[in-house]
Every structure is written in structure tokens, then in C-alpha cells.
Chains A and B, each alone.
Chain A
């Protein structure tokens, strides 16, 4: 099983700031089948990024994904009030598909 480790656990930033979230895989995700989801309290996760760097339809361009192999990054260039949430990475290359433990982006 591929274990995904996200860091940091919590990120405290101000609106307008830049958020950099890390996701490290225990083995290579060779086809870049790596996604990022945003989850707000009481809501289902929402797909932001798939294929490591492709934005899902309707996702603002302040969200970007990068990386390959075992190291992946989600960057939010300028935090809007609605971006404060929990973010999960997920690999869907190797069964069982697995999620990271999440990074909470909170208002500083």
C-alpha cells in the first residue's frame, strides 16, 4: 500500500498569503495519478487537481499542483477567505487507493 504523508499538519496564514502544501508518497506514483481535494466542514470533498497538475473544471487558477515520483505540492497563490479548509492528497495509481491524512489551512 502506498502511504501518503502530508505536511504540515496545520498551516496558519492570512488572506492574500501563499500556501504551499506537501504530499510525500512511500513509493513512486509513476504515472502521476495524484489528486488534491478540498474539504470544508460538513461538506463532501471537492476535486481540485488531478494527474498531479491538471485543474478540475471550475477551479480557480490560484490553485496549482506540481511534482512527480514521490513528492507532490499543492500551491494556493493568494488565499481567499473561502480557501480556508482541509486539503487531502490521494493516489489512484496503485490499489488500494489511498489518501493523505490532510493539511488544515487556517486563518492566522
Chain B
């Protein structure tokens, strides 16, 4: 059974960089798309971007200037960096697996990141 687990700081100061890692277990990181999605408290879902296992990426234009998604296939994990954060970046961040025609079939449980001084 594939499982995804987000990890990283729960509190980030304004103007600093948010960094999260998603560890994949029970399956290989190869041959799939790996996405980050976020959800501000009480609001809807926003796709941040994806990385294909080979390393190619695609980011939401609304965040593109601040986002980097990278992969470490040897550790079976992928990571998110979001720079210059503000309170508007406070959200639950999810990692998810994408499989072409199937969309997001496996999700992590999510991690709340609060941006505050």
C-alpha cells in the first residue's frame, strides 16, 4: 500500500522560505507525477505544482516565481520550497501522487504550516 508522509516545520516567519518533504513508502517514486496541493484554513484546494520522477516540473503561474519542487529518487522523497512567504501562505500542505489519466490517487495526511512572526 502506497503511503505519503509530509514533514517539515509547522511555523515559518514572514519573508522566509517554507520547506517541506514528502516521503513515499510502499512504492517507487518512478513513473508518476508528484504534486503539492494546499488548502488555507476553511477554504478550498489549490494546486501548487508537480514534478515528474525524471525531474521535469510544472508550476501554478500564481506561485511560479516562488516555488521549487525537487526529487531525491535515492531516498524516495520529493520536496517543496516556497520563498518569501506571507500570512497568505498559511495552509495545510498536501503531497499527492498523480498518474496521468487518474489524477491524484494517493495523498499524504497533510501538514499545517503557519506563517507568523
Which residues does A use to contact B, with CB under 8 Å? 1, 33, 35, 37, 43-47, 50-51, 56, 88, 90, 92, 95-102
Q: Which residue of the partner chain, among A43, A96, A99, contacts B45 with CB atoms under 8 Å?
A: A99
Main SS of chain A's interface residues?
Answer: loop
Can you identify 22 A-B contacts, CB atoms within 8 angstroms?
A1-B61, A35-B103, A44-B107, A45-B45, A45-B94, A45-B104, A46-B107, A50-B105, A56-B102, A56-B105, A88-B45, A90-B103, A92-B98, A95-B58, A95-B60, A96-B47, A96-B60, A97-B35, A98-B47, A100-B44, A101-B44, A102-B44
Number of A-B contacts (CB under 8 A): 55
Give the total of B residues in contact with A, Cβ under 8 Å: 20
- Among the listed B61, B98, B103, B108, which residue makes an inter-chain contact with A96, where contact means beta carbons less than 8 Å apart? B61
Mask for B91-117, Cβ within 8 A of A = 1, else 0? 000100010011111011110000000
Which residue of A is nearest B47, CB measured?
A: A97
B46 at the A interface (CB under 8 A): yes
- Given that A51-B101, A90-B103 are contacting pairs, would A44 and B108 also be in contact in the complex, using a CB cutoff of 8 Å? yes
Q: In the assembled complex, how far is the CB of residue A106 from the closest CB belonging to chain B, in whole angstroms?
A: 15
Q: Which residues of B contact A88 (CB under 8 A)?
A: 44-45
Whether the Cβ atoms of A50 and B101 lie closer than 8 Å is yes
